[in-house]
Amino acid sequence: MDKTRRLSRFLDPKVLASIASMEIRARSVVEGAIEGLHKSPFKGFNVEFAEYRSYVPGDPIKDIDWKVFARTDKYYIKEHEEETNLSGYLILDTSGSMSFRGESAFSKLEYAATLAASLAFLMLKQQDSVGLVTFAEGVRKIVRPKAGMGHLKGICRELEASEPGGATDIGETLDRVAETMRKRGLLIMFSDLMDSAEAIIAKARQLRTRRHEILLFHVLDRQELTFPFEDTILFRDLEDKSEIVADAYALRREYLRRLQQMVTTFQSALRRAGIDYLLADTSRPIEATLRQFFTRRMSGAARVA
Amino acid sequence: MLSFGHPLFLTGLLTAAVPIWLHLYFRRTPVPKDFPSLRLIRLSVDAVIRRLKLRNWLLLALRLAVLLLLVLALARPFVGGTFGNIAHTGSPSAFVVILDNSLSMGVTHQGISLYNSAKAKALEVLDQMGPYDKASVALLHDPGTLLFTQLSWDKNDLKEAVRNAPLSLSGTNLTGVLQAAVKLVAPVRSYKRTVYLITDLTRVAWKPLLDNGDLLARIDPGIELVLIPVGDGSPPNLAVAGLELEQPLVMKGRTAVLWATVANHSDRPRQTRLSILVAGDKKQDLPIDLEARSRKRVKVPITFPAEGVVDVAALLPADSLPEDDVRHLAVPVLAPPKILVVKPPPERDGSPSRDDIFLRFALNPLNRTEGATFLVESRLPEEAVSLRLADYTAVFLVNQRQLPAPFVDALAGFVLGGGYCVIFPGSRTDPEWYNSALLDALGGRYLLPARLFKRVGNAVSRNIAYQLTDLDTGHPAFSLFGAEGNGDPRRAQVWEFFQVQPNPGALVLARMSHGLPGLVEERRGQGKTLLVTFTADTAWTNWPLKPTFLPFLHQALAGMLGRRGLRGGSILPGAPVSLVVQEENLQKVTLLPPQGAGIELPIRREGEGLLHISTTRTEQTGFYRLVLTGKEGTRTEAFAVNPPPDESDLERIPARKIPRFTELSHRAGSATSLGQKVQEVREGRDVSGGLLWLLLVVALVETALANRPPAQRPGVTA
């Protein structure tokens, strides 16, 4: 498989066409050396101070620094960095469970990798810097964030090289990522979250307290979401290879109840912590999932602004 | 209870193993499936494992049920048929229809005759008789009748017998008739055997059978007992339950006391009028108030002006059971009976015998010829030979040494024909002659109830006085003294008496104080002999001076007279009546029933000049006359036949309290005819159709449970 074709697996022209007109807007303040397309939501709130200048008629009254006025009896406007460059990590779960492919075109890993590549392309196109972390029981590979479209190939190469296998340990992975990121940044995780929900939520909250922006794509196959089986089935675990025989029809209601409970727990707990959570159904078109993601991001940014 | 039309299909029950095998087989071959993580599946399995197991067992049970129902339906089961019968469905039937024709079935309630209803049901049962079936009909009255002693194939004969079966006025012999019916069908084991009992379920009729519970349990379980009740509820009923005389003897011109018993068998107090009829003429009309379920005895004094047997009837207004509203009593009104005293010769000084004097005084104290209770005639033995003993009621032998042989012979015949002989010994008595002439020489016609031995005690010195003890107060002679205030014969003293050894059939009415017999009586033919072991005068005892001597003699004679001839009113319908007379010249005996022409009865001659007359033509209730015609004229005996009082109680017993019987209730106008129900009992009900419906339902449930609908529930959403 030549490089162009391998890359095209993840950079579906239809996907890129559908999101090329959108702008990714970061919701968090990210320090960056390169002014990009992102507007800082913290502008005027002394988050990133630039300078004072005298007030001129026409300036917004709300931008006047009233403390300086109290001391000097003069009107000064506090200037901030208006645009910042984004630095982020794409964190991809490559555990054995991600190899599951129901009746969808992609396995969960392929779907997640495609999503990651698409987002990497867009971020690089906006001159943001993007890195990649792959993990299973622990971190497997780390690609440091860089800007420039040339970096895309490196990321795609690593994505292609990812092979599913092993158990899932998200807590360990997030600890490693936190050590790696000295500055605040954007973390976008793609995983089926087959780990302890409490541990995942606790680690994510820790990262959030370090003011990292976190996005979580919960990647699940359609068969996982609907459990459409009818017969007595010998289920084999893709991670630890254990087996269990069960009447799938009889289990379905209870299974779906527990899964719904788990999704709701993630959704509510993560959103309370200010973490974006998106359930990605691998049977849906990737562009639809991305469009849903961007729509939510834009509406979230508008709400904050 | 369960039989099969096609029992070979039952081998299909082996297919029950199929679902078990399938169940086990598919349990071992699940479809493999890779899945991302089993964590949620394991949690779900833990949560639903019990429900899953239950469902699996339910599924297995349903599949087994489907197969079993299919096999059973194909085998064409019949439920409710002959219990425990080895004969399979389609076998011919052998059955007996027991039709209750007892008195209680004579009830007509709200215009419906219970007996006619029972007959109609019996005919319906017989209508179900197939060409290979055989049956009999029995009537339930007492003593009961098996109209066909062998099982008959002729349905028309059987039905005709039912149509002609008369209502009896007698009681119910449920035990006897049921046993006879069971005995009739018991041998035909290859037939389906059934006994149908059509009855009004009166409690009194069932009580003997239910009290003897073993009887029903002993009946062959292969014989089905089917109960077909008739009637509904117990109609109120009043009845004359008893009519009797207070005294054993009724004398012409003297007042007799009649007791009538009226019973109220309803649950409410009732008022009624009791009429007393003498020879058809109403003599008394008495209002009577009766409590619910109670009886009342009414005392009615009546004087009979003429001798002869008189029909006395107690009558109530007719109600739902008219047969028990009248009761008859045949009252023999007697002229004063004649008593012959065979006295000893006068004393040496020419004075009359003291024995004779005491006896004559005791029997006729005022020595009257008119209005006396007994007319006493004293004769020496040689004078008595020429007398016609049949003209006397009793003969007293008093202190006789020996008697002429012809007189002894005549006396033996007199006793066997119903006479009463009382023997008082005395100083003249020769025990050897007595034992020889009155006991040994007469063979079967002997007169002495006990063999005489030596004399005990000394009436001259009177050193030792004996007393009478162990009085038989159940005997008429002493029954009077059982009550307080009527005197006590035990106060009399006896200084000398004969030691005797009673015959094996004799009764000791009283003993002396040291245990030897004092008075011995023995029934001889239709009569009796009484031996008193001491004198009739005061030579050996002071009893003749005591106030108890006279009533003793009177009561002993009255008791004897009261049982002579035919008994007055205790004969039940259909029961045999017999009479033994000693009339050499009897030529014809005619029975005159209450209704219908007279019936000449056969006369059976027995030994020793006795004539035996008997009849069972006593089906009707009422007053019967028996006219005995001889060369010397005619005389009349009479008796009354009355219904059994128990039959008047129409209270019913619930059918559920009767074990072993299967009740087959049927009301007029119901959708299913009695015949159809009988058919169901005989063949059982074909339930294969019902089983197929049940199979369909079970199959649908199994399908719903096993072939679950495809997953339509939407999956998990964020």
- Domain membership of residue B567 (yes or no) is no
Q: Give yes or no: residues B161 and B205 share one domain.
A: yes
Out of A22-31, A80-89, A178-187, B27-36, least confident range: A22-31
Q: Which B-chain residues 308-327 have CB contacts (< 8 A) with chain A?
A: none
Out of B72-76, B424-428, B640-644, least confident range: B72-76
Q: Give yes or no: residues B290 and B188 share one domain.
A: no
Taking the CA of residue A122 and the nearest CA in chain B, the distance in Å comes to 26
- B454 vs A: CB within 8 A: no
Integer angstrom CA distances of residue A271 from A12, A208, A259, A268, A275: 30, 11, 18, 5, 5
How does residue A197 score in pLDDT terms, banded at 50, 70 and 90?
confident
Q: Give yes or no: residues B460 and B552 share one domain.
A: yes
How does residue A290 score in pLDDT terms, banded at 50, 70 and 90?
confident
Q: Give yes or no: residues B185 and B282 share one domain.
A: no
Say yes or no to pLDDT of B564 above 70.
no
How does residue B569 score in pLDDT terms, banded at 50, 70 and 90?
low
Say yes or no to pLDDT of A42 above 70.
no
Element (H or E) spanning B193, and its range?
Answer: strand B192-199
Last residue of a domain, one of B562, B588, B620: B562
pLDDT for B316 equals 94
Mutate to test the interface with B, among A103, A247, A257, A276 (most CBs of B within 10 A): A247
- Domain membership of residue B87 (yes or no) is no
B37·A97 Cβ contact <8 A: yes
Residue B364's CB is within 10 A of a number of other CB atoms, namely 17
Q: Which residues of B touch A250 (CB under 8 A)?
A: 48, 51-52, 55
A232·B27 Cβ contact <8 A: yes
Q: Nearest residue on chain A to B38, judged by CA atoms?
A: A237
Question: What pLDDT digit, counting tens, does each position of B287-316 carry?
Answer: 999 999 999 999 999 988 888 889 999 999
Residue B267's CB is within 10 A of a number of other CB atoms, namely 10
Residue B713's CB is within 10 A of a number of other CB atoms, namely 11
Taking the CA of residue A37 and the nearest CA in chain B, the distance in Å comes to 31
Return the structure tokens found at B3.
């039989």
Terminal Cα distance for chain B, rounded: 64
Mutate to test the interface with B, among A223, A253, A255, A271 (most CBs of B within 10 A): A255
Q: Which residues of B touch A238 (CB under 8 A)?
A: 34-37
Element (H or E) spanning B64, and its range?
Answer: helix B39-74
- Tokens 């205790």 identify what position? B570
- Domain membership of residue B433 (yes or no) is yes
- Give yes or no for a contact between B106 and B239, defined as CB atoms under 8 angstroms apart: no
pLDDT for A47 equals 47
Q: Nearest residue on chain B to A250, judged by CA atoms?
A: B52
**Alpha-carbon distance B65 to B61, whole Å?**
6
Integer angstrom CA distances of residue B448 from A198, B344, B554: 124, 18, 21
How does residue A3 score in pLDDT terms, banded at 50, 70 and 90?
very low
Label residues B42-67 b or e (16+ Cβ within 10 Å = b): eebbebbeeebeebbeebbebbbbbb
Which among A218, A239, A259 has CB closest to B40? A259
Q: Mean pLDDT throughout B137-147? A: 90
- Domain membership of residue B85 (yes or no) is no
Return the structure tokens found at A144.
């440091």
Q: Which residues of B touch A229 (CB under 8 A)?
A: 33
Which among B26, B38, B718 has CB closest to A242? B38
Taking the CA of residue A235 and the nearest CA in chain B, the distance in Å comes to 5
Coil, helix or strand at residue B110: coil
Which among A244, A249, A267 has CB closest to B45? A244
Q: Which residues of A touch B39 (CB under 8 A)?
A: 194
Which of A17-21, A229-233, B89-93, B705-709 is predicted most confidently?
A229-233
Q: Nearest residue on chain A to B32, judged by CA atoms?
A: A234
In chain B, the percentage of residues whose pLDDT exceeds 90 is 40
**What CATH number should be reported for the domain holding residue B151?**
3.40.50.410
Q: Where are the alpha helices (DSSP H) in B102-251?
A: 114-127, 155-164, 174-185, 203-211, 213-218
Taking the CA of residue A151 and the nearest CA in chain B, the distance in Å comes to 32
Taking the CA of residue A178 and the nearest CA in chain B, the distance in Å comes to 27
Mutate to test the interface with A, among B27, B44, B713 (most CBs of A within 10 A): B44
Could you write out the DSSP letters of every residue in A34-61?
S--SPBPTTTTTTSSEEEEEE--TTS-G
Return the structure tokens found at A230.
């009818």
Say yes or no to pLDDT of B320 above 80.
yes
- Domain membership of residue B86 (yes or no) is no
Taking the CA of residue A213 and the nearest CA in chain B, the distance in Å comes to 21
- Give yes or no for a contact between A193 and A170, defined as CB atoms under 8 angstroms apart: yes
Taking the CA of residue A222 and the nearest CA in chain B, the distance in Å comes to 8
Q: Give yes or no: residues B379 and B308 share one domain.
A: no
Q: Give yes or no: residues B285 and B410 share one domain.
A: no
Which among A231, A235, A263 has CB closest to B35? A235
Taking the CA of residue B20 and the nearest CA in chain A, the distance in Å comes to 17
Say yes or no to pLDDT of B347 above 60.
yes
Q: Give yes or no: residues B366 and B441 share one domain.
A: yes
- Give yes or no for a contact between B566 and B611, defined as CB atoms under 8 angstroms apart: no
- Domain membership of residue B73 (yes or no) is yes
**Alpha-carbon distance A269 to A201, whole Å?**
7
Taking the CA of residue A233 and the nearest CA in chain B, the distance in Å comes to 5
Q: Which residues of B touch A279 (CB under 8 A)?
A: 717-718
Taking the CA of residue B32 and the nearest CA in chain A, the distance in Å comes to 4
- Domain membership of residue B57 (yes or no) is yes
CA B478 to chain centre: 29
B31·A232 Cβ contact <8 A: yes
B173 lies in which domain range?
93-232+652-683
Coil, helix or strand at residue B555: helix
Which among A192, A230, A260 has CB closest to B716? A260
Q: Give yes or no: residues B47 and B141 share one domain.
A: no
| DSSP secondary structure letter of residue B12 | G
Say which residue, B135 or A294, is predicted with more confidence: B135
Last residue of a domain, one of B535, B562, B589: B562
Say yes or no to pLDDT of B26 above 70.
no
Q: Which B-chain residues 10-29 have CB contacts (< 8 A) with chain A?
A: 26-27
Say yes or no to pLDDT of B580 above 80.
no
Can you list the domains of chain A with their CATH numbers?
A: 3-29+85-304 (3.40.50.410), 49-80 (no CATH)
CA B424 to chain centre: 41
Which among B33, B48, B52 has CB closest to A235? B33
**Alpha-carbon distance A117 to A130, whole Å?**
10
Integer angstrom CA distances of residue A90 from A114, A188, A228: 11, 5, 32
A251·B34 Cβ contact <8 A: no
Strand residues in B542-616 grouped as ranges (E): 577-581, 586-592, 599-601, 603-605, 611-615
Which among A238, A255, A279 has CB closest to B41? A255
Say which residue, B290 or B49, is predicted with more confidence: B290
A232·B713 Cβ contact <8 A: no
Q: Mean pLDDT throughout A248-269? A: 90
Q: Which residues of B touch A228 (CB under 8 A)?
A: 711
pLDDT for B544 equals 93
Q: Give yes or no: residues B176 and B135 share one domain.
A: yes
Question: What pLDDT digit, counting tens, does each position of B505-528 carry?
Answer: 999 999 998 899 999 999 988 889
A233·B40 Cβ contact <8 A: no
How many domains is chain B partitioned into structurally? 5
Question: What pLDDT digit, counting tens, does each position of A93-130 carry?
Answer: 999 999 998 888 788 998 898 888 888 887 887 778 88
B711·A230 Cβ contact <8 A: yes
Beta strand pairing status for B603-605 and B611-615?
antiparallel
A238·B716 Cβ contact <8 A: no
Q: Phi first, then psi: what are they for A42, rounded to 5°?
A: -95, 5
**What CATH number should be reported for the domain holding residue B343?**
3.40.50.880
Q: Give yes or no: residues B434 and B520 share one domain.
A: yes
pLDDT for B501 equals 95
Q: Give yes or no: residues B165 and B150 share one domain.
A: yes
Last residue of a domain, one of B562, B588, B611: B562
Under the phi-then-psi rule, with left for phi > 0, alpha for psi from -120 to 50, and beta for the rest, what region is B574? left
B26·A232 Cβ contact <8 A: yes
**What CATH number should be reported for the domain holding residue B259?**
2.60.40.10
Q: Which residues of B touch A254 (CB under 8 A)?
A: 44, 47-48
Q: Where are the alpha helices (DSSP H) in chain A?
A: 3-10, 13-19, 66-72, 108-125, 150-161, 170-180, 197-209, 222-226, 248-272, 286-304
- Domain membership of residue B718 (yes or no) is no
Q: How many CB pairs under 8 A join A and B?
A: 115
**Alpha-carbon distance B83 to B682, whole Å?**
10
Q: Mean pLDDT throughout B77-96? A: 65
Q: Give yes or no: residues B544 and B616 share one domain.
A: no
